[in-house]
Amino acid sequence: MAEVTIEARRHSAAHLAARAIMNVFENVQVDIGPATDEGFYYDFDLPHRLSPEDFPKIEEEIKRLIALDEPFVRKEVSREECAKMLEGQQYKLERLGDIPEGETISTYAVGDYVEMCRGPHVEHSSQIGVVKLTRVAGSYFRGDVNNKMLQRVYGIIAKDQAEMDEIIERAEEAKRRDHRKLGVELDLFHIDPENPGQIFWHPRGWSIYVTLQDYMRKKLVADGYSEVNTPALMPRSLWERSGHWGHYQKNMFVTESEKRLFAVKPMNCPGAIEIFKSRTRSYKDLPLRLAEFGHCARNEPSGTLHGIMRVRGFVQDDAHILCTEDQIEEEVAKFCRLLKDVYSDFGFDKNLLVKLSTMPEDHVGEIATWQHAEAALAAACNAAGLPFEIQPGEGAFYGPKLEFTLVDALGRQWQCGTIQLDYQLPSAERLNAEYVGADGKKHHPVMLHRAVLGSLERFIGILIENYAGAFPFWLAPEQIRILPSSDKALDYAKKIKAALEANGYRVTVDASSEKLGAKIREASNWKVPYKVVVGPRDEADETVSVRKTGEGDLGAMKLPDFLAKLQSEIKA
């Protein structure tokens, strides 16, 4: 058999899942079933309310269908033929109506099951491997809340049972690391069901947030950025000129005041242009690097929200660089070095993936300009020592872009950093940003939209899961917990706390009446990096007994020596 892609296997598994559910239950209406990054899903409408208790019998039917080793047969058909094949399937027939006249309609048949589909698929069902259903959720038809809610069944595949066991084990580990679960257990944040997509940060979680933000500020200042802040509310007229009103309005929160419409900003870029335009700029002012931790709001559908990973209110480590065309390559290379440096501090530099998205069919601007811009991005990656792959036709309509994907401790990929090249927003047709060139004439700058971490909320969610809640010392909300062995050592514990806090560390004292062993376990449950035990003997010797998560008991040491160790760890 020919080699098949994982996407084809996943997509084919979705078809067999649909076929199996139609075999097991009555009166089943099917909608769509694509492959996903994790496996596949399929949307159904049926009288029976599906639950995990149904999965074993569905999986057994899928297993039987795979064993039949039937071929997936592609056939191009007329609209009339396709409608006859799909007779009685209301959702499929509505999807058929979406296909423009004259466009090829292809179907795939496996056994007695026929599906309108572009493919690709495996040649025979045995190539799929092993299939396991994972969960069921609600999903509105076409993603529209005004339509009927369907039942979405998710699944995963593996080549054999041994691989499936490994996948399940990783999935169980991912559950243990789920940021929503750990966020509650570690008292970091909560989300009110009546206020979906908005985060209430608790003191411990906000400590992480502020520490991360301060870390990025230092990096930005060192890299030549100026920090700005722009209004959260901006008028409709600005969003119309920028193009967002026409292309993005459904995702914007809109309000009215004095018979004028305003929108809560879903992104910061128009504000950066307004600052650029606030005074006359010379070519000598460029590149101008404007960074903003601006709070944005996007009206995401409630069904897409996910903890702090996908929210309606968020802050990006956003920045916009306005420069000349000749400065593009140097600025992108500079950004790549910054991103590489930041990711290294979090341990994400080993498996960093970079993709260059090139000119799409639906683009604006001259082809020669696109070619120049794409070459500049590629050269910048090479200059920064970052290998990359091409994503043909995946650029934005206004320019090419680089996307940076990190790999976490479980091998999962997260696209976070990006830099996009934009000739359109500063143009005369949009927001008309201008500078005076060396020739004394007015020119439009090029704009680079870039973020290293992306959404701070999402990045913190990634960190929670990557570290399983045990943050590195410099980022931990509670860095040191002092554990007096008895009330007699409480005053000494407070003295040590004051000394550590004077050096900038986040410290607490466990003044409870619990026994020392219980105090140590409690500190471990809260994932505190350092546990410092003090007793009468420590006070007499002017020492502290130090335990570190992952290293165990480090023994007694003088306070200056402990401070030196902490300083060394922070620098590292």
Task: Give the lowest-confidence range in 31-35, 219-223, 396-400, 426-430.
Answer: 396-400
Q: Identify which of 62, 28, 20, 23 has the alpha carbon closest to the alpha carbon of residue 48.
A: 28
**What are the backbone angles phi and psi of residue 369, rounded to the nearest 5°?**
-65, -40
User: What DSSP state is assigned to residue 444?
Assistant: P
Instruction: Write down the catalytic residue from 121, 132, 152, 401.
Output: 401
| Nearest 10 degrees: Cα torsion 303, 308, 311, 312 | 140
- For the chain, give the percent of residues with pLDDT over 90: 84
Identify which has the larger pLDDT, 538 or 144: 538
Instruction: Write down the catalytic residue from 316, 420, 424, 479.
Output: 316
User: Which residues, in sequence order, are bridge partners of residue 407?
Assistant: 413
1: pLDDT strictly greater than 60: no
Task: Give the lowest-confidence range in 266-280, 337-351, 357-371.
Answer: 357-371
CA distances 20 to 57, 117, 131, 157, 243, Å, are 9, 18, 12, 15, 46
The string of DSSP codes covering 256-279 is EETTEEEEE-S-SHHHHHHHHTTS
pLDDT of residue 2: 54
The pLDDT tens digits for 139-193 are 999 888 899 999 999 999 999 999 999 999 998 999 999 999 999 999 999 999 9
Instruction: Write down the catalytic residue from 15, 121, 320, 430.
Output: 320
* Dist CA 495 CA 533 (whole Å): 13
Q: pTM for the complete prediction?
A: 0.85
pLDDT of residue 299: 95
pLDDT of residue 423: 87
The answer to whether 450 is a known catalytic residue is: no
* Dist CA 55 CA 409 (whole Å): 30
pLDDT of residue 368: 87
504: pLDDT strictly greater than 70: yes
The answer to whether 401 is a known catalytic residue is: yes
The pLDDT tens digits for 300-322 are 988 789 999 999 999 999 999 99
- What is the rounded average pLDDT for all residues in the chain? 94
Identify which has the larger pLDDT, 268 or 424: 268
Instruction: Write down the catalytic residue from 318, 408, 422, 510.
Output: 318
The pLDDT tens digits for 13-70 are 999 999 999 999 999 999 999 999 889 999 999 999 999 999 999 999 999 999 999 9
User: What DSSP state is assigned to residue 416?
Assistant: E
- For the chain, give the percent of residues with pLDDT over 70: 99
The answer to whether 336 is a known catalytic residue is: no
Task: Give the lowest-confidence range in 18-32, 261-275, 286-300, 388-402.
Answer: 388-402
The string of DSSP codes covering 298-321 is ----GGG-BTTTB-SEEEEEEEEE
Which pLDDT band, with edges at 50, 70 and 90, does 83 fall under? very high
- pLDDT (average), residues 246-260: 92
The pLDDT tens digits for 89-104 are 999 999 999 999 888 8
The answer to whether 298 is a known catalytic residue is: yes
The answer to whether 269 is a known catalytic residue is: yes
Instruction: Write down the catalytic residue from 269, 296, 323, 416.
Output: 269
Instruction: Write down the catalytic residue from 121, 298, 312, 458.
Output: 298
The pLDDT tens digits for 200-232 are 999 999 999 999 999 999 999 999 999 999 999
- pLDDT (average), residues 458-467: 97
Q: 177 near 186, Cβ under 8 Å?
A: no
pLDDT of residue 320: 98
- pLDDT (average), residues 411-437: 93
397: pLDDT strictly greater than 80: no
Q: What does the H/E/C string look like for 151-173?
A: EEEEEEEECCHHHHHHHHHHHHH
pLDDT of residue 105: 92
